[in-house]
Structure 1
Amino acid sequence: MKTAIPHSWLLPCLLGGLTLATPTFAQDEDAPYAYPDEERSEQNNSARRQRLQQDEDSPYAYPDEDKPERAQERQRRFEEDTAEDFRRAAEGDEEEKGFERMARLDDPNTGVAFEVIGGAMLLSSPRGQLLGDLLPAVGGRFTWEYGRLLGSEALREALWFDVRYTYAGVREGTALIVGDTKLHYATIAPAYELTFGESSDYGAYAQVGGGFAYEMTTVEIGGKVTPMDGMKLLIQYGVGLRGRTKLSMESNVRLAWRVELMRFRRGYQDDTFVGASLGTAF
């Protein structure tokens, strides 16, 4: 039997092929394979994080800081528009632009005051004295600033009126005959006030009004008393100084006071009152 001998050229070919073959190394099992799309995404995320870090470290530039000229121009136009609105309101054109006065809301006061009156009444004397009989007089009054209802800034505190009561009395005579006279004055008198400056709490005023005077007289002769009474219409007029002094910045309550010279014309007689009043305004 014959045995086939392998060709002698086969062994050199195998060795040459192993030598020229590219070596292949095993990949690390723990490291995942990086696809091209994932590599680009990771690069983009890294660049974005760097930009955010730079933005946080650098201060934010506001639009006004970038363009100060434009910001100044807007501020100037705003101030001009505001001044124009107030000018139109002062001239009475606020209805055309829908401008609403806020004086009623800005001023918490109601314009109401209560005062106690004290002074001297120079009562018209039948004896023909120049100034009349000097008598003490007391009373009280209620004041309301009705000018607040008119919507005019100039008349807001300039127009007001008083509801007033004043009393004066005299008793004189001899041991045989004694006369006792009591006078009660009740009046309503509007007034117009000129304040000492804009938004001032002090001013001078003139006042004219009307009312009535009730006079009650008793004549005592030898112990016998004879009463007499009567009522007359009167006219009240005069001038004075008025103030509403603030007592506290947190409260609406004020100290209301006046100094006045007032006359009461009843029939053919003129009674003159000189005095002052003190009270509270709200």
Structure 2
Amino acid sequence: MHSWLLPCLLGGLALAAPTFAQDEDTPYAYPDDEKPEQTRGSRRHRTEPEEDMASDFRRISEEGDEEDFERLSRMDDPNTGVAFEALGGAMVVSSPRGQLLGDFLPAVGGRFTWEYGRLLGVEALRESLWFDVRYTYAGVREGTKLIVGDTRLHYATIAPAYELMFGESSEYGVYAQVGGGIAYEHTTLEIGGKVTPVDGVKPLIQYGVGLRGRTKVSSESNVRLAWRVELMRFRRGYLDDTFVGASLGTAF
């Protein structure tokens, strides 16, 4: 009995050894090893949207769609740069009688303004370059019961201007302006009830300086209050007429 018991025990031990051994290729996953994997996975999911957004911005910038960026850049200033103003003041007309200051006549008119600097794509010149299409009228009637003279002056000009703003986002600035146009003069001479008309057209040069403002009316609207105070001269032939006045209107 002892002779066969020893071989049986040795055989049983030999078969049990492979059962308790572990496979090195498939290690046991402990609970502590799963947490780092989950943490790395959650961090990866959080960074994926950020990387997607960065890639989208990079793609748009590489494509170079300038029209889209230009439209976005104008969102902070949606104004068109167009203004309409009524003007009034005094016109000092050169006097044929040789007076030092000339004749002071009331003057009225209107103008249309367009800021063409917005088309150049240069931020510094966006609101600094503009031009006026202007009409100004002045007239006088004087004489005696026997002789009466009636003079009507019409000035039509187009004048570019350059404005120096008081700040980067200021609504006010000083400007200098030079332009040209025509002056139409209609004069009638009445003697004893008989009227003799005299008409004439002369080219003129307009130049001067002024103060310009575009005050916001409401934060919810693009409409602004446009106004100016100016000193302007009209050179027609050998005569110099000086306008001192102001204007008020609306800018869009």
Residue equivalent to 1:246: 216
**5+ unaligned residues in a row in structure 1: which ranges?**
1-46, 52-61, 64-77, 79-93
Give the CA RMSD over aligned residues: 2.6
Say whether residues 1:211 and 2:181 are aligned partners. Answer: yes
Residue equivalent to 1:138: 108
Q: Match for 2:79 among 91, 96, 109?
A: 109
Shift of 1:127: 1.1
Q: Which runs of 4+ in 1 moved over 6 A?
A: none
Q: What SS does structure 2 have at the residue aligned with 1:148?
A: helix
Say whether residues 1:125 and 2:82 are aligned partners. Answer: no
Point out the structure with max Rg over C-alpha: 1
Please give the alpha-carbon distance, in whole angstroms, between the structure 2 residues aligned to 1:232 and 1:196. Answer: 37
With normalisation by structure 2, the TM-score equals 0.73
Q: Match for 1:235 among 170, 195, 205?
A: 205
**5+ unaligned residues in a row in structure 2: which ranges?**
1-30, 36-41, 44-53, 55-60
Counterpart residue identity of residue 218, structure 2: S
Please give the alpha-carbon distance, in whole angstroms, between the structure 1 residues aligned to 2:141 and 2:85. Answer: 27
Say whether residues 1:147 and 2:117 are aligned partners. Answer: yes
Cα deviations across residues 10-54 of structure 1 (Å, max 9, x unaligned)? xxxxxxxxxxxxxxxxxxxxxxxxxxxxxxxxxxxxx9xxx9xxx
Cα deviations across residues 185-239 of structure 1 (Å, max 9, x unaligned)? 0000000000001011100000000000000000000110001101000000000
Return the structure number with greater strand share: 2
With normalisation by structure 1, the TM-score equals 0.65
Counterpart residue identity of residue 270, structure 1: D
Shift of 1:98: 7.5
Cα deviations across residues 156-213 of structure 1 (Å, max 9, x unaligned)? 0000000000000011111211100000000000000000010111000000000000
Please give the alpha-carbon distance, in whole angstroms, between the structure 2 residues aligned to 1:205 and 1:117. Answer: 17
Residue equivalent to 1:271: 241
Given that residues 262 and 272 in structure 1 are in contact (C-alpha distance below 8 angstroms), is that contact kept between their aligned partners in structure 2?
Answer: yes
Shift of 1:106: 2.6
Residue equivalent to 2:196: 226
Alignment map for 1:33-112 (pairs within 5 Å): 100-101=69-70, 102-112=72-82
Shift of 1:256: 0.2
Please give the alpha-carbon distance, in whole angstroms, between the structure 1 residues aligned to 2:119 and 2:144. Answer: 56
Residue equivalent to 1:71: none
Say whether residues 1:184 and 2:147 are aligned partners. Answer: no
Given that residues 176 and 222 in structure 1 are in contact (C-alpha distance below 8 angstroms), is that contact kept between their aligned partners in structure 2?
Answer: yes
Shift of 1:112: 0.2
Q: Match for 2:167 among 190, 194, 197?
A: 197
Percent sequence identity over aligned pairs: 82
Q: What SS does structure 2 have at the residue aligned with 1:154?
A: helix
Quick one: higher RCO (CA 8 Å, sep 6+), 1 or 2?
2
Please give the alpha-carbon distance, in whole angstroms, between the structure 2 residues aligned to 1:272 and 1:219. Answer: 25
How many matched pairs? 197
Shift of 1:103: 3.4
